[in-house]
Amino acid sequence: MSEGALPKEDAVLRVDDLQKSFGGLAATDHATFAVERGTITGLIGPNGAGKSTLFNLISGFYEPDGGTVEVNGTDVTGMEPYQVAEHGLIRTFQTPRKLEGMTVREAMLVGPRKQPGESFLTLFTSPGTVAESESANLAEAERILEDFEIDHLATQPATDISGGQMKLVELARAMLAEPEVLLLDEPVAGVNPTLAKKLKGQIRRLNEQGTTFLLIEHDMEFVMDLADPIVVLDQGHVLTEGTPEGVRNDDRVIDAYLGGGR
Amino acid sequence: MSLLDDPKAAFADLSRPEGWVLGVSVAFVLFLFVAMLTGALGPTYFLFLVGLAGMYALLSFGLNAQWGFTGLINFSVAAFFGIGAYGTALMTASGSPIAGGFSPLVGLAVALVVALALALLIGIPTLRLRADYLAIASLGLAEVVRLIVLNERWLTNGSAGLRGIPGFFDGWPVLSTFPEAMPGLRLEVIPGSPVILETAFWQASLNVLLVLAFAGAAYFVLRRAHRSPWGRVLRTIRSDEDLARALGKNTYSFKMQSFVLGSLIMALAGVFYAHLNLYVGPGDLDPITTFYAWVAVILGGSGSNRGALFGGIVIVTIREGTRFLNDVALPIDPAPLRLLLIGVVIVAVMRYRPQGVLPPQRELIWPSAVGGGGTPETPDSGVRERKGGGDDE
């Protein structure tokens, strides 16, 4: 177990000796782990363990002080977030902000990457191409909303739906970006149990269809049920890594959560 | 759906505020028309006002492309307007200290290139940062440009300004001689108060033609851009830039495009102004122009091109309409009254309709993409309608 689990055969995301300090605080302290293709990998740890910092480092929002991040075998360390996304790593946020003045399906349409209509000149030189891709994307967005059983929300203003529904829309939108690996930051925080169950079902379904997930979650029941393997983070470094069962019974993990370590 | 295909349905499609604006506009145009026929409003002056309205509409279009679409806070509207005006004036005016005498088309091109360069110059260092930095930098830029124009006499003629700017169509075939070629007309609709249309009137109608061409082109471009995936990325940046970045959008590039586009449209307004007024001076770069453009956009509804057009017209109506109050005995002077009125309008709009008079209403998806499957263009009864009351979130 522990760091010995590396290297993995087919890692879609590989984090190697990643470091980041804020002032004197090492928020990420030589973190090393990998996410194997086809898994739902859980990332847990007590408050302040550095989970969100790690997410920001991986997705390019923070620049690491040291170490590397590889997506699909490409070194993406130090790249801009949009470049990391172009390599197939998409992330969601803990508290999604609602897109003002957009309907749900409009908000969905931000998802697809590299749309021809995102080039200003193409709008005028080749409007037909834009219309074609927009039609295709709209059909795909509506299909995904149907899969998520929220197609009735399609034409609702995005500001009018509940926080839980927004989390579903976020996940649905991320799927439109066709991620190789999807990072979910607390997908069920503040979501009611019924919707949380639905989200869990969706994540599992998408995983079976081939999407790899890395998710941060505080809801232990949720993460233990869904994720395998689980990476435990404490004070910025990887404490241990293993099956839910193994992690649950690991004394160091219990210590970290209960503060026995210090 | 177009007004021509199905007028009834097109009217039924209007929301209540749209109906109101349409009604008030029609009444206002009728009023102006009657005023013109009775001789209370000179037709040439009327056309001058239409030109000014078009100019303010251009300024608000430009700001709308920056603030309304993307949320970029630009306080240097006056600078880009001034760059447009001085750019063309320095190229074409007989009194220009550096060049002069070129065709207004050269002036137009030079003005746009200088505005582009200035937009890049200010955008490159600030657009990677948070929105506030552009606001501060643009505030400074406006003053820097104004002071350069005022003090660099070898370049701009300083406080004397530039005289001898030709009309935009001077030197063109047909159009340059059109005003002289047209016969003077004398219309007497109401006995005793004839309306005389002569060279000045035809000259003014050419200016209106020019501003309609500029504003029409800007409107066409912005409308198409706004409902495209490109515009959607801008609107996403406005609400949540990090989200756009996480979804693989190069937000710096998008913000730059939006900023440059808006700045070019503002410069276009300046080019038109120079050839309308035939004189430009440092006073034209006063920050009040920036203020007017902001009022117009907020009043009309941020993000809405129609709103920007409407806001621009309201500004001109208040600015020029108050001149007529000189004839009426008032306890206060009309000049401060103008600013007071604009203040009152802004307070009233913020209090009763914070989203603006004509907010963007329909879902913005590339039109032909929506046609087949669902209900076209009208499923949401006003997305913006519901927000802004302070009751969401």
Looking at residue B43, its pLDDT comes to 85
* Rounded distance between C-alpha atoms, residue A111 and residue A96, angstroms: 14
Q: Is residue A254 very low, low, confident or very high in pLDDT (cuts 50, 70, 90)?
A: confident
Asked if A106 and B365 come within 8 Å (Cβ–Cβ), the reply is yes
Least reliable range by pLDDT among A150-159, A171-180, B243-252, B356-365: B356-365
Among residues A127, A158, A189, the one where a domain terminates is: A158
Question: To the nearest whole number, what is the mean pLDDT of chain A?
Answer: 90
Contact B383 A131 (CB under 8 A): no
Domain annotation covers residue A200: yes
Please tell me whether residues A115 and A62 are part of one structural domain.
Answer: no
Q: What is the ipTM of this complex?
A: 0.91
CATH of the domain at A32: 3.40.50.300
Looking at the DSSP bridge assignments, the partners of residue A182 are A90, A213
- Are residues A213 and A149 both part of a single domain? no
Shortest distance, CA A249 to any CA of chain B (angstroms): 36
pLDDT the model gives residue B329: 67
Same structural domain, A139 and A179: no
A217 and A87 fall within a common domain: yes
Q: Is position A165 within any domain?
A: no
Task: Return the pLDDT at B7.
Answer: 61
pLDDT digits (tens, 9 = 90+) for B332-375: 777 778 888 888 988 999 899 888 988 886 678 888 777 644 44
Residues A8, A87 within the same domain: yes
Q: Which residues of chain B have pLDDT under 70?
A: 1-12, 193, 329, 361-362, 371-393
Q: What CA–CA distance (Å, rounded) separates A223 from A231? A: 11
Same domain for A44 and A107, yes or no, is: no
Using 50, 70 and 90 to split pLDDT, how confident is the model at A8?
low
How many domains does one find in chain A?
A: 2
Residue A223 lies in a domain: yes
Does residue A115 sit in the same domain as residue A242?
no
- pLDDT tens per residue across span A236-250: 999 999 999 999 888
**What mean pLDDT comes out for the span A10-14?**
92
Name the closest residue on chain B to residue A136, using Cα atoms. B369
pLDDT for residue B4: 54
Q: How far is Cα A85 from Cα A66, in angstroms, rounded to an integer?
A: 21
| pTM value > 0.95 | no
Q: Are residues A104 and A214 in the same domain?
A: no
Q: Assess whether pLDDT exceeds 90 at residue A36.
A: yes
A160 interfacial to chain B (CB closer than 8 Å): yes
Same domain, A121 and A223: no
| Domain's final residue, options A129, A158, A187 | A158
Higher pLDDT, A197 or B339: A197
Residue A167 lies in a domain: no
pLDDT of residue B363: 79
Same-domain check for residues A87 and A115: no
Does residue A86 sit in the same domain as residue A201?
yes
Residues 170-189, chain A: which have Cβ within 8 Å of B? 173-174, 177
Statement to judge: residues A177 and A247 lie in one domain? yes
Answer with the one of A158, A182, A199 that is the final residue of a domain: A158
Owning domain of residue A47: 2-98+173-258
Cross-chain CB nearest to A99 (options B236, B384, B393): B236
In a domain, A185, yes or no: yes
For residue A3, pLDDT over 70 is answered with no
